[in-house]
Structure 1
Amino acid sequence: MTAALDLSRHYRYLLPLPEPGTAVVLPPFVVAMHAHLNARYADAAWPLGPLTANPSAYRRVIYWRNCPAVFADELRLASWTMINGRLRPTFLRARGARLRSRLSAAQIHETISAWIRLANWLEAHGIRRLADCTTSVLHSYGQHLLSCHTNRNHTHKTLGAVTRLWAFDQLCARPAGIGRPPWDERGADDYLPAATITGGENETEPLAEQTIGPLLIWAMRMIDDLAEDILAAWVETQRLTEVARTTTGTPHGKAALEAFLAPLLAAGSPLPASRIRGEVCLAATYLSGITGASRAQIDKLNQREGLAAVAAQRPGPCPLDVPITGRIAGLPWRQALDFAETPVLMRHLGTAAFIVCAYLTGMRTGEVLGMRTGCCPDPEPVTDKNADRNNADGNAGRHLIRTHEYKNAIDERAFSCAS
């Protein structure tokens, strides 16, 4: 059971000492959709997923096996304090815009990883406590980074991470006493490689018109012309799957199964089949859904008639009883939709919708994936009050898409909402 902490009795920047069962991410910072990922303080792995709702963000994890054992307790406490605490405003004001009070999940992972690299360097140099990591030792570490790294931005981030360790150590319930980094007082230029000319943030070449043009056209066609069929097939597939999951064996179901398969077996026709991990198998779920027979009844008939072997030799389709309304070049785009292909078609439909939304709006991946049902309501009817928000010809205004922003986003407390 996860231990709870009463934060109301403690100073707003000084957190109490966590217990082994204390949650890694305390309730004020847990995103509800990822609350189940939360770990305990004593666990060997700390998932950072509970800190972010960004659907495109990688679910990063801190693995304490990578940290030298002699520094594990000290860095755990500093890390927990950073995850659940924040830097003092006075500390931030003295450093301008160089530091933020709280970091995103991705930045927390990057920062703690930098702390672990520092701990490994300290252990290799015979230092086994953060209290022995003095300003002069950190000067040597800064020189080490300068000699090993050629990327100025990466080195600057590493130096900033060490500064943050010193800052949060002072906010820990049991400070380790690490020294102040010399670059925090004198500036970081002496520890940074020479500046190099780099491109902007978006260096990836855009897709050629010859590629994006047909891709966008067919993505839109899939949504406009084929989505209705795919969604209907998906609903029917889910219905048949639920029938197969909940049905019980009855004489009627057994009779319906035999009546369906007997003509196919007698004529040597293909049997409904699907692929599971690359192997052709009898489509038992489909058969159960359309006949009402239980899985046990299908298994018994399979043992008696060798249905699985027949299906592997003569695999057949699993057509769904849904109308085909979509057209390509004036003809139906499918004779029938198949039970086994609906998951793939749904994935293609989702991909088509993503392409259209991302390309035509310019939204980032997380912003597209963060859209929910109802995010694009119909415009308001034209009235005297909202006439200025509508087109000059009196038609309703444009549709507005509403979603969540994650990059550089902050909440009402000025805390990071990014990934």
Structure 2
Amino acid sequence: MSLGTGGTAAVAASGEPERINEATPVLLHRELIPGTDVSALSRFGQDRWHINEGIFEEDAAAYSFNFAAIPDPLRGFAKLYFWQVINRDSPSPLRRTATERPSLRTVANMWVPFKAFMDWLHHRGITTISQVTAELLDDYLIDVGNCDIALGLKYRRIVEIRRLWSYRLLLPEDMRLPTMPPWGGDSARVLLGAVRAKRENLTPRITEGTMRALLWWSLRFVEDFADDILAAHTEYLYLHFRGRQPGRGVVTRAPDGQVHQRVALYIDKLRRENGSLPGKLVANGEVRIDWRHLTKVLDYTSESSLASGRAGQLLLDSGLPIAEDAFLDTPITARIDDAPWHQGPIPNNRARHLARHLSTACLVVIAYLSGARPGEVLNLRRGCIEHDAINDMWLMTGVFFKNAVDANGNKLPAGLQRRDPWVVVKPVADAVAVLERLHDHQLLFPSIIEAHRQRTNTRRKGNARIPARCADDLAAFVEWVNTRCAHRAALAIPLDSQGPLNITRFRRTLAWFIRRRPRGLVAGSIQYGHVHTRLLQGYAGGYDAGFIDELAFEDFLARLEQLAEDEKALRAGETVSDPAAQTYRHRVAAATRQFAGHVLTSNRQARDLLTNPALQIYHGDAMTCVFDATVAACQLRGTAEDPLVTPQIDDCRPWCRNIARTDRDIAALRTRRDRLTLIVDDTLAPPIRCERDQAELRRITTILETHDDANRPEP
């Protein structure tokens, strides 16, 4: 459809027709990024629509719609429909959605499933939406169900038909779907007769070995290598801009006498330091002087005049060796295992790559140890860290976009400043400080670190690194580490069996480590308890942050796996003793009946299920806690009234009525008894220690005898 000068009439939200013509801006009723040139906005009549001027997230990629890819008979409808979705609230919001108008990034995600429907209609000879019948939609549903695509993609295709119907009253009558809701208003889950795959598979965690090594190296970059890399990067930038007047590119010209003196001093310096002239490898493998680099070092006018003049002859006659690269003067001061972290001086053309690796290391530390969402991390700005000296807490502030909505539930495109800051550990604050020294950008993670380098995608309005580029940077970081560890496999970062690393996987991985590997959460001196407490005290502990749901999901899975092992052991004849033995057996049986084969559809559902009494079993050190907060003798994590309260297993008290002991616990106690028996037999041991060990030995022996007596068959 081609609009004439008069345009077409679409029904406005007020019920009055709104004239839309070829010159109507695509983002007519959307908030725009401050400073946007309105005259450059995409217009309705164009076949390519760009919507980046309305997307405030700095980490957003460039988004556009190519209507030339829509079959010609349906192209005019497609434009009018998308214009309405962009600029108008839906008269009938989708089920389970409080938003009246989708965000522009959501609109961008609509394109692929919408285009699939347009292509399907075109192949059946449909030229206008008014020709679509309920029977035709049934055929489409059957075809979607038979498609060899992921279930989630099938859901999206169904949802887009329902969304299209919800906007029917804003479209001309010849562009409307039938009056009755598609498929009787049933949801995609009901229509497809299936449920999504298990929630666990949607965001795979980073495997343990990979995460440990990745964090270890990231911390080394931040804590140990940063000073060397920052100094090298500063020298690289100094040489790049040397002799240039900012913004004009004018080269200063020094008198020849000064140049000769400068060259003589440079030659003397190299001789004193046993240095070499900067060089480069040419195509035939020969090493030649890098005259271009020398012009920067000597502040000369041009490489051709330097190479052919008297100053160049002085360099050629110096007899100094020529290096295979142009190296910086920055010394290497940091070490790994008593060896320099970087072999030899840093080449000039590698300094910016090392700076990028340093930025990536900071990204790992901040994203992983804060638990913040990827978009929140990538939108962090200079000055986001402050230290609360009174409470000894590091606070990180920033903007959030997810769940930032107005009173009508519509997304606020500019986001909101977070009311409660993230409470983070000091390595996060150190990483932010490194980034603030690395560059002058306001964003901590700009798409380009060096101001003199130009962006390739000028359509994209955000200045932060996009998640796809973060994935590339993580791969490059791992490659750099592993190349230098080729002869030391113990220090390498293992490849992740779950696929490429990306920033979206850090939150899930942190939740897994907190739940499954509390003592191996992070490398170095960062303690699990500190990270766990800081996260749950601050931003991450609030339900709006989403991290508490991530943690609950991991907790739910871990408990189910442990209960499955417990049920298997009981069926194999495992015996249980101590006060909570009978309750233990009941809970294991109840959990097996209730949760075997259970599929989770959301993290929040896992959090709600964790309050079930059947899941309140915690395995500790040679004991099992069958938890009841009302009689617990330990220090609780939370209050007794909190439905998600958990026991402090490390604080277990021997007299607690929640204790049960399985044969597995007893086996651990027997090992401890045998070790203590050897210790108390040591006649040279100090008396005080010997008395303490003998008391512990008597306590363990009593527990073992009680267990044996409780499970000895009656005569």
What TM-score bracket applies, with the shorter chain setting the length? 0.7 to 0.9
Gaps of 5+ in 2: 1-11, 316-320, 416-465, 467-715
| Residues 145 and 44 of structure 1, relative CA distance in 2, 3 Å threshold | same
- Matched letter for residue 410 of structure 1: V
Query: Match of 2:107?
Result: 108
**What are the Cα deviations for residues 150-192 of structure 1, in whole angstroms up to 9, with x where unaligned?**
7554333222212222333422489723334643644247983
123-132 or 110-119, which deviates more: 110-119
How many Å apart are 1:196 and its aligned residue? 4.4
The structure showing larger relative contact order (alpha-carbon pairs under 8 Å, at least 6 residues apart) is 1
Counterparts in 2 of 1:343-362, with a 5 A limit? 343-362=352-371
SS for the counterpart of 1:340 is helix
CA distance in 2, matches of 1:338, 1:185: 67
In structure 2, do the counterparts of structure 1 residues 371 and 84 end up closer, same or farther at CA, with 3 Å as the change threshold? same
Query: Which residue number corresponds to residue 85 of structure 2?
Result: 82
Letter in 2 for 1:23: P
- Equivalent residue, structure 2, for 1:318: 326
Q: Does 1:40 align with 2:11?
A: no
Shift of residue 229 of structure 1?
2.4
Q: What does residue 649 of structure 2 align with?
A: none
Output one character per residue of 1:35-72: Cα deviation in whole Å (capped at 9) or x when no partner: 89953333332234334344554433322221001111
Q: Residues 215 and 118 (structure 1 numbering): CA distance in 2 closer, same or farther, change over 3 Å?
A: closer
Give, in whole Å, the separation in 2 of the partners of 1:22 and 1:270: 62
1:107-152: CA deviation from partner (whole Å, max 9, x where unpaired): 3123233232222222222221122224443333333323436755
Name 2:395's counterpart in structure 1. 400
2-side partners of 1:139 and 1:55: how far apart?
41
Is the CA contact 2:86–2:107 (under 8 Å) kept in the aligned structure 1?
A: yes
Query: Contact 1:60 / 1:109 at 8 angstroms: preserved in 2?
Result: yes
Q: Deviations over 1:11-45 (max 9, x none)?
A: 56878434434433347333459989953333332
Task: Report if the CA contact (8 A) 1:79-1:112 is conserved.
Answer: no
CA distance in 1, matches of 2:192, 2:149: 6
Aligned AA for 1:365? P
Q: Return the letter of the residue paired with 1:30.
A: L
Amino acid at match of 2:53: P
Q: Where does residue 222 of structure 1 map in the other structure? A: 221
1:44, 1:63 within 8 Å by CA — same for their partners in 2? yes
Q: Aligned AA for 2:303?
A: I
List aligned pairs for 1:198-237, cutoff 5 A: 198-200=197-199, 202-237=201-236
Distance (Å, rounded) in 2 between the aligned partners of 1:288 and 1:82: 57
Let me know the Cα RMSD of the aligned residues.
4.1
Contact 1:14 1:171 in 2 (8 A): no
CA offsets 1:312-353 (integer angstroms, 9 cap, x no match) = x95544343445543444565455443212111111101111
In the alignment, is residue 299 of structure 1 matched against residue 304 of structure 2? yes
Aligned partner of 1:28 among 20, 27, 30: 30
Distance 1:30 1:273, change over 3 A: farther
Counterpart of 2:382 in structure 1 is: 373
When residues 166 and 182 of structure 1 are mapped into structure 2, their CA distance, relative to the original with a 3 A threshold, is closer
SS of residue in 1 equivalent to 2:387: coil
Letter in 2 for 1:299: S
Task: Find out whether 1:69 has 2:72 as its counterpart.
Answer: yes
Structure 1 residues 376, 208: CA separation in 2 closer, same or farther (over 3 Å shift)? Answer: same
Residues in 1 aligned to 2:235 and 2:100: alpha-carbon distance in whole angstroms: 51
Partner Cα distance (2:229, 2:33) in 1: 33
Q: Confirm or deny that 1:59 pairs with 2:44.
A: no
**In 2, distance between residues paired with 1:71 and 1:404?**
40
Length-normalised TM-score, structure 2: 0.46
Q: Which whole-Å CA distance do the structure 1 matches of 2:362 and 2:153 have between them?
A: 36
Kept after mapping to 1: 8 A contact 2:145/2:192: yes
Aligned length: 381
Deviations 1:80-122 (A, max 9, x none): 121122213xx23xx6425732223443123233232222222
Superposed CA deviations along residues 334-375 of structure 1, whole A, max 9, x for unmatched, are: 554432121111111011111111221222322221211111
CA contact (8 A) 1:286 1:318 kept: yes
Alignment of 1:243-392 (within 5 A): 243-245=242-244, 246=249, 247-252=251-256, 255=260, 270-273=277-280, 283=290, 286-294=293-301, 297-302=302-307, 315-322=323-330, 324-329=332-337, 333-334=341-342, 336-379=345-388, 381-382=389-390, 390=391
CA distance in 2, matches of 1:414, 1:284: 62
3-state DSSP class of the match of 1:86? coil
The structure-2 alpha-carbon separation of the partners of 1:171 and 1:116, relative to structure 1 and needing over 3 Å to count, comes to same
**CA contact 1:219–1:353 (8 Å) conserved in 2:** yes
| SS of structure 2 residue aligned to 1:287 | helix
CA displacement, residues 224-253 of structure 1 (integer Å, 9 cap, x when unaligned)? 122122223222222221225432344347
d(CA) in 2 for partners of 1:201, 1:59: 30
Task: Give the CA deviation at 1:406.
Answer: 3.7
Contact 2:161 2:182 (C-alpha < 8 Å) held by counterparts: no
Change in CA separation of 1:173 and 1:229 when aligned onto 2, cut-off 3 Å: farther
Q: Sequence identity, in percent?
A: 24
Distance 2:333 2:124 in 1: 72
Q: TM-score, normalised by structure 1?
A: 0.74
Q: Secondary structure at the match of 2:49?
A: strand
The residue that corresponds to 1:415 in the other structure is 410
Separation (CA, whole Å) in 2 of partners of 1:16 and 1:256: 76
- Corresponding residue for 1:125? 124
Answering whether residue 170 of structure 2 is matched by residue 163 of structure 1, we say: no
Q: Do the aligned residues in 2 keep the contact of 1:220 with 1:356 (CA within 8 Å)?
A: yes
Judge conservation of contact 2:59–2:378 (CA < 8 Å) in 1. Answer: yes
Three-state SS of the structure 1 residue aligned to 2:178 is: coil
Residue 75 of structure 1: CA displacement?
Answer: 0.7
1:17 aligns with 2:19: yes
CA distance in 1, matches of 2:102, 2:18: 20
SS for the counterpart of 1:377 is strand
Unmatched 5+ stretches in structure 1: 1-9, 308-312, 383-389, 391-395
Alignment check: 8 A CA contact 1:378 1:399 kept: yes
Contact 1:24-1:39 within 8 A present in 2 as well = yes
Q: 1:205 to 1:303 in 2, by over 3 A?
A: same
CA change 1:206–1:121 in 2 (3 A) is closer
